[in-house]
Amino acid sequence: MRSTVTGQVAHASVPQGQPPCPAPAALLQAVYPTAMALQTPMPAPVCLIENSPAGGLQVNREALAQLQAGSQPVVVVAIVGLYRTGKSYLMNRLASKRTGFSLGSTIQSHTKGIWMWCVPHPRQPGHTLVLLDTEGLGDVEKGDAKNDTWIFALAVLLSSTLIYNSLGVIDQCAMDQLHYVTELTEHIQAKAAPGASPAAEEDGAQFVRFFPAFVWAVRDFTLQLRLDGRDITADEYLEHTLRLKPGSGRVAQTYNLPRQCLRHFFPTRKCFVFEQPARGQDLHRLEELHDNQLNLGFREQAARFCAHIWATAQAKALPGGHVVTGKMLGDLVVTYVDAIRSGVVPCLESAVLALAQVENSAAVEAAMARYSAALGPELALPTETLLELLALHAQAEREALRTFMARAFKDDTRQFQTELMRRLEQQKEELCQRNERASLERCQAVLAEVSRDLDACIRDGFYAVPGGYQRFLGDRQEMVERYQQVPGKGIKANATLQDFLASREPMAQAILRVDRALMETEKEVEAQRTRAEAAEREQELLQQEQAELQQKLEEQRRSHEEHVRQLEETLQREQKALLEELDRTVAQKLQEQEALLREGFRKESARVGEELRRLREESSAISQPSWISAALTLLGDVASLVLPCFMGKVVGLGTRLLGRFL
């Protein structure tokens, strides 16, 4: 006969996973053009974090490069537990493979460090399932409790779903073996405040927002899931074992501590029980067995387990809903391991801020690359008008800004958006200069062609005869008309013609003096007409320059409005994600508080109540309109340092205009 679970079950509802917070597919596609494409799967697991010869942990750079080559969002599932409890076999099932992570068939621990296997997600297209198989805890041969604690902490920090694997039943012995949960408060820090204290003194609700969902896998389970004469679920079994013992004595505190930590830090909990996968000697050759050679009960339990993980495990995300990619996960690995190696307590907020610096810099570069790609490598210059050129720039800028907004996060000082604004403004100026140079070269080439006959007549003395000046004027006008009929000259067409005619004016005056046939009065009238025409062309040129300057100023205004619009949309999405995240945390903490009250733990309930108060204050602050308006005002302030570059040009043009008319 199998034993029966006895006692009372706490009737607290168990959260069954959190709603996904993935970035919209369109935004991901804009940031990572290959993110939606199925990437080359990793053929076999590799060691990501290894034990260094000198002791401690170090990152395997080859494995890191493979992880960071992935641009897809990652769903990170890590498994922890005592050595020789079948963790690797369960992870192979999640990879839908019979072999992969090494199992071993002796009493020795086979997995060392943290091994990684990146495979296409079987249920979420465009996502990578990153499986992390950790070194078995409590290896008697190794005997390094500190290393075990860091392995456990890294599994918590890196995963979006954490599986704790144990043998037999969930009893006090199993709880005692889970002492690593209680030690998390000594090895992880949530906030990066000056002089920050160890995590034990911090608000536990802060950790809930960083920590993964928790799944307890009980292997070789031999009990019947019955309680007080009725069938119960594995989840109810877990909640029953997590009930606290009344009292404040040492025994009660020792009993309650791991349970309190599990309830406190992992409000999203799930439990699965498994019978043995095979019998007798077959257990030593599981890699060789096909599914039909496994126990039917285990196959059904494993299928439900895998289906749950595939369906509910969320993409790794940072507070605020920013989805983590393979590149970003690799950066987190390096940040956490470097902190551990240097003897510093890993800080969640500092790691996110460091990652934001890297990602935001990359977001600026990606945005500039998108800007160049949007303009195209074969941009046809010159454009006929400045407005046409500015329209091309505006479209490319919009796409660049979308790329930046989709990838950047925690740019609270708007440092990186300001840098993007400055570089886009610089690119626009360079584009305008290139356009002007292309126009000038085109106009000079056209003028050289259409003035060839006129220059030849001048050289040959064709106009050095009575009436030659009138002939010259007619031929020059014909040349101007031919020039004006040539398309594609661009925005410097009038200015280049004006300069050309001005350069030929001494020759025109020389022809006029030679023309003895004209009366002095006619000469003066003709000279006045020539000056009037020149003045009219000069006026037209100044008006064109004024119009182009106004167009550039309007483009600056439009550019700033586009930055504000896209930032506001991004902040609204971030505000919504943060509020939803806080609402989930509040709901989980309310369940924890209600359970504590039911069980009579009023002091602990009051502590959770204080966390709820702070969470609600934070939610209220984020929901205020000023949360968005302050960021928009800041962007306006920093933009004033970038965008007024045209004001000097306005003053300069005004001085030049006055100089021409005085």
Buried b (16+ CB within 10 A) or exposed e, 472-487: bbebbeebbeebeeee
Q: Is 555 helix (H, G, I), strand (E, B) or coil?
A: helix
Here the tokens at position 428 are 């626009």
pLDDT surpassing 90 at residue 627: no
Residue where the block lists tokens 């009138």: 470
pLDDT surpassing 90 at residue 467: no
Q: How confident is the model at residue 350 (pLDDT cuts 50, 70, 90)?
A: confident
Q: Which of 381-395, 611-625, 626-640 has the lowest mean pLDDT?
A: 626-640
% of the chain exceeding 90 in pLDDT? 37
CA 626 to chain centre: 24
- Reading phi first (left if > 0) and then psi (alpha if -120 to 50, else beta), residue 96 is in left
Contact 425, 645 (CB under 8 A): yes
Q: Which of 130-139, 210-219, 533-542 has the lowest mean pLDDT?
A: 533-542
- Cα(458)–Cα(475) distance, integer angstroms: 11
Mean pLDDT value across the chain: 82
pLDDT surpassing 80 at residue 81: yes
- In tens, the pLDDT along 111-159 reads 578 999 999 999 999 999 999 999 887 654 554 678 888 999 999 999 9
pLDDT (mean) for 603-622: 84
pLDDT surpassing 60 at residue 510: yes
Q: According to the model, what pLDDT value does residue 543 have?
A: 82
Q: Which of 128-132, 229-233, 463-467 has the lowest mean pLDDT?
A: 463-467
Cis peptide bond N-terminal to 382, omega within 30: yes
Q: According to the model, what pLDDT value does residue 202 have?
A: 52
Q: According to the model, what pLDDT value does residue 448 have?
A: 93
Please give the helix or strand (H or E) that residue 540 lies within, else none: helix 520-598
CATH 3.40.50.300, applies to 45-189+203-346: yes
Q: How confident is the model at residue 403 (pLDDT cuts 50, 70, 90)?
A: very high
Can you state the angle between helices 87-94 and 296-312, rounded to 10 degrees? Answer: 60
Most confident of 143-152, 341-350, 404-413, 522-531: 404-413
Q: Is 86 helix (H, G, I), strand (E, B) or coil?
A: coil
- Cα(198)–Cα(147) distance, integer angstroms: 19
Of 261 and 639, the one with more pLDDT: 261
Domains of the chain, residue spans: 45-189+203-346
Is residue 422 exposed (0-12), middle (13-18) or buried (19+ Cβ within 10 Å)? middle
Q: Which of 382-396, 427-441, 470-484, 548-562 has the lowest mean pLDDT?
A: 548-562
Q: How confident is the model at residue 365 (pLDDT cuts 50, 70, 90)?
A: very high
Of 51 and 397, the one with more pLDDT: 397
Of 392 and 653, the one with more pLDDT: 392
- Cα(592)–Cα(202) distance, integer angstroms: 18
- Cα(315)–Cα(70) distance, integer angstroms: 14
Q: According to the model, what pLDDT value does residue 18 have?
A: 39
- Cα(140)–Cα(156) distance, integer angstroms: 23
Q: Give the 3-state DSSP-derived string for 205-220, with helices as H, strands as E and coil as C.
A: HHHHCCCCEEEEEEEC
Q: According to the model, what pLDDT value does residue 523 have?
A: 61
The separation between the first and the last C-alpha atoms of the chain, rounded to the nearest angstrom, is 112
Q: Is 83 helix (H, G, I), strand (E, B) or coil?
A: coil
Q: How confident is the model at residue 250 (pLDDT cuts 50, 70, 90)?
A: confident
Can you state the angle between helices 520-598 and 493-514, rounded to 10 degrees? Answer: 170
Q: How confident is the model at residue 196 (pLDDT cuts 50, 70, 90)?
A: very low
Buried b (16+ CB within 10 A) or exposed e, 496-535: bbbbbbeebeeebeebbeebeebeeeeeeebeeebeeeee
Q: How confident is the model at residue 205 (pLDDT cuts 50, 70, 90)?
A: low
pLDDT (mean) for 87-111: 73
Q: According to the model, what pLDDT value does residue 45 have?
A: 93
pLDDT surpassing 70 at residue 199: no
Here the tokens at position 92 are 């192979």
Q: According to the model, what pLDDT value does residue 185 have?
A: 67
Q: Is 624 helix (H, G, I), strand (E, B) or coil?
A: coil
If one counts every other C-beta atom within 10 angstroms of the C-beta of residue 574, the result is 20
Q: According to the model, what pLDDT value does residue 286 have?
A: 78
Q: How confident is the model at residue 613 (pLDDT cuts 50, 70, 90)?
A: confident
Residue where the block lists tokens 């917070």: 21
Please give the helix or strand (H or E) that residue 333 lies within, else none: helix 326-341
- pTM of the full structure: 0.72
Positive or negative: CA dihedral 544, 545, 546, 551 = positive
Q: How confident is the model at residue 204 (pLDDT cuts 50, 70, 90)?
A: low
Q: Which of 142-156, 183-197, 404-418 has the lowest mean pLDDT?
A: 183-197
Q: According to the model, what pLDDT value does residue 105 have?
A: 40
- Cα(627)–Cα(581) distance, integer angstroms: 16
